[in-house]
């Protein structure tokens, strides 16, 4: 009896995962990922790279935002309705990484996208400042 219950639970989880992946395919069918989250990309591009960042597509579900010669890179990854933004900042050959998952991002409004971008910037500013301070302490 226990085996039956475990098998049913596993089948439900697998079905839900496959269903979410199919929803992702449908979401991205007519729109590229960077277009789906255009407001987030534009705000982060402006905040991190003064609007000079470029997009490098890594696949249907991920891309990088960076500026040539810059010491930072922002990775966007989308899967099963979750947007993961990973921001890497390098200072004197030491890197700090900040990653955040945003759930239920299939149909975001402009305001929700603004909120995501502003949240990432607001979280990253003190992380960068602390990182610079720590690196300078190690150097001296």
Alpha-carbon distance 30 to 15, whole Å? 24
Q: Assess contact for 77 and 84: CB atoms under 8 A.
A: yes
Packing angle of the helix pair 38-49, 110-139 (nearest 10 deg): 30
pTM, whole model, 2 decimals? 0.83
Residue 140 confidence class, pLDDT cut points 50, 70, 90: low
13-26 pLDDT per residue, tens? 887 777 776 676 76
Alpha-carbon distance 64 to 116, whole Å? 17
User: Which DSSP symbol is given to 10?
Assistant: H
């Amino acid at each position: 009896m226990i085996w039956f219950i475990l098998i049913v639970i596993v089948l439900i989880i697998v079905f839900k995962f496959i269903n979410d992946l199919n929803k992702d395919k449908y979401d991205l069918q007519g729109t590229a990922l960077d277009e789906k989250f255009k407001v987030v990309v534009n705000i982060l591009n402006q905040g991190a790279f003064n609007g000079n960042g470029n997009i490098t597509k890594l696949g249907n579900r991920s891309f990088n935002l960076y500026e040539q010669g810059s010491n930072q890179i922002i990775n966007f990854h989308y899967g099963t309705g979750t947007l993961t933004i990973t921001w890497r900042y390098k200072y004197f050959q030491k890197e700090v990484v900040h990653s955040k998952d945003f759930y239920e991002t299939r149909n975001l409004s402009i305001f929700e996208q603004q909120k995501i971008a502003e949240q990432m910037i607001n979280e990253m500013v003190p992380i960068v400042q602390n990182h610079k301070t720590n690196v300078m302490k190690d150097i001296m």
